[in-house]
Amino acid sequence: MTPPAKKKTRAPLVPPKKKAPLSARGLAIQVMSRVAATDAYLNVVLDTVLDEFQPKDPRDAGLVTELCYGATRRQLALDYALTTVADRKLESIEDKVLAALRLGAYQLFYMRVPKHAAVGETVDALKSLGLERATGFVNAILRKLSALEAPPLPSGDDATKLAVAESHPEWLVRRWQRQFGPERAASMVKADNDPPNVVIRANTSKTTRDELLAQLLDVGVKAHAASTSPVGIVLENPGRVEDLFGYAEGLWQVQDEAAQLVGVYAQLPEGAKVLDACAAPGGKACHAAERNQVLAIDVHANKLPKIESEARRLGLKERLSSRALDASKLPDDLGEFDVVMVDAPCSGLGTLRRHPELRYRRTEKDFAGLATLQREILESCQQHVAPGGLLVYAVCTTDPTEGADQIELFLRSHPDFTAEPPRATGLPLVQGYLRTLPGPEGFDGFFAARLRRMY
């Protein structure tokens, strides 16, 4: 007789453990490792990771931002310090582990974080990402760095030391020293490591700068008028700008003061028919659309919806249309415009405080290719400037090869155009051209030229 089978007892169902939410340092490691792995822009990856993980405490989002931008701005100084205590080359270390080392070193040298917390919490963040095997190595390196009072500097001349101390490539430091002198170059690299102000431009189709500033102050927003832009307002620690007064109503748009000055410098005649070539992200196009009819074009079709969305928010949709076109190969049937604005692709060296990763990606070899593209765009766009019309050329760079040199070359080959500075006063002009530099003034670096077609 076969004995009855034993009933199988089922183990009680245990719900799977939920992964603990990542700490601010864990999120920062994710951001920086993704930037390193993909060569994406830091601000884009940061926004993506914060949307993906959605930290509950808004202070965590602020800390992630500070860690990522700070460690990126100071990367060369951090890396030099790490090489003095590490027993392996940094390029051999995997992305997340190297990100943890940089973030830990940044806290030790540049933040008011207790040393034991900078080390311990960075190691814990690495554990939370499943990298326990690397924690001993990271802990040992950061403990060695914690014994130092400041990041070490290499031997060498002033340019070599300044390059490491302020985390700019040595070729760029030497280039700026030649172009602007040692003192100005030093102030430029230091300014690039300061977090930029949040500046907004009053939408003058709906309000004035003074009215908007008074309203912001009335609702408790800390703000003051921009130093040079007549339409600019500087916000002090605003937090999430989309939650501020006037955003939903379309009373203002975020735009750096130097970028605003391009629109002021252009001094467009009211009611003009305007073509904005290379229009993304759309700040200058929307500025022009406050008083004019604008066609905004960009070679990247996926960037146009953002421009159109901003135009709708600002109440400018009836004055702004968009098309996906390559500004270097504009079709003949596009017609003529009273004003053609060319915000040309460039090295971006004037925006290193906003895009700190760019300083490590640019090389001196880039200028030749960029200059060629800029000339092609200028040549294509000038054909669509009506007789008596304006051609406004702008670049967010400090380099003369992309600015004044480019325009002088254009004028020599186009005798029907002449440089015509605006009647507006109080702008930072050099030989009639708009030029702003990073430094104590708080500007991004921009160049703009205003050219009149005589016939």
Determine the 3-state secondary structure of 53 from DSSP.
Answer: helix
* Token pair of 94 as six digits: 């995997």
Residues in Cβ contact with 2 at an 8 Å cutoff, skipping those fewer than 6 apart: none
Q: Which of 278, 286, 381, 396 is catalytic?
A: 396
* Token pair of 279 as six digits: 């229009």
- What CA–CA distance (Å, rounded) separates 273 from 337? 5
Counting every residue, how long is the chain?
Answer: 455
Q: Are 272 and 286 in contact (CB under 8 A)?
A: no
DSSP lists the bridge partners of residue 419 as 451
How many H-runs (helices) and E-runs (strands) does the chain carry? 17, 13
* Token pair of 219 as six digits: 């609702």
Q: Are 346 and 320 in contact (CB under 8 A)?
A: no
* Token pair of 215 as six digits: 């309203």
For 408, phi then psi, to 5°, come to -60, -40
- What CA–CA distance (Å, rounded) separates 270 from 290? 9
Is 346 among the catalytic positions?
no
Q: Is residue 448 exposed (0-12), middle (13-18) or buried (19+ Cβ within 10 Å)?
A: buried
Q: Is residue 193 exposed (0-12), middle (13-18) or buried (19+ Cβ within 10 Å)?
A: buried
| Longest Cα–Cα distance in the chain | 113
- Residues acting as catalytic residues: 396
